Structure 1
Amino acid sequence: LFGEKYGEEVRVVTMGTALHGDKAGKAYSVELCGGTHVRRTGDIGLVTLVAEGAVAAGVRRIEALTGAAARAYLDEQDKRMRALAGLLKVGAADVPNRVAQLVEERKRLEKELADAKKKLAMGGGGEGGEAPVKTAGAFQLMARVVDGINPKDLKGLADDAKTKLGTGVVVLISVADDGKAAIVTAVTKDLTEKVNAVDLVRIGSEALGGRGGGGRPDMAQAGGPEGAKAEAAISAIEAHLVGL
Structure 2
Amino acid sequence: MYAPRSHSRHIEEYGGRGGTFPHHPQQMADDPSSSTICFVRGQFTGKVIRSELCEIQKADLGRKYARVDRRPLDPPPVVKLKFFEVLGSSERELTFEEIQILGLLCTVDLFPVITSESPLESSGGKTSHKKSSSASSITSVSSSTHYSPISYDTHGYTPGSSVQNLPLTSSSAYSSRYSPHSPPVPSDIVHWCGSVPITESSKMTDSLVGAKFVQPQFIDYDGSRALIFVFSASKQVSFVFS
Which structure shows the bigger proportion of residues in helix conformation?
1
Which structure shows the bigger proportion of residues in strand conformation?
2
**Which of the pair has more CA radius of gyration?**
1
TM-score bin, normalised by smaller chain: under 0.3
Which one scores higher on RCO, CA 8 angstroms, separation ≥ 6?
2
Normalised by the size of structure 1, how large is the TM-score?
A: 0.21
Normalised by the size of structure 2, how large is the TM-score?
A: 0.21
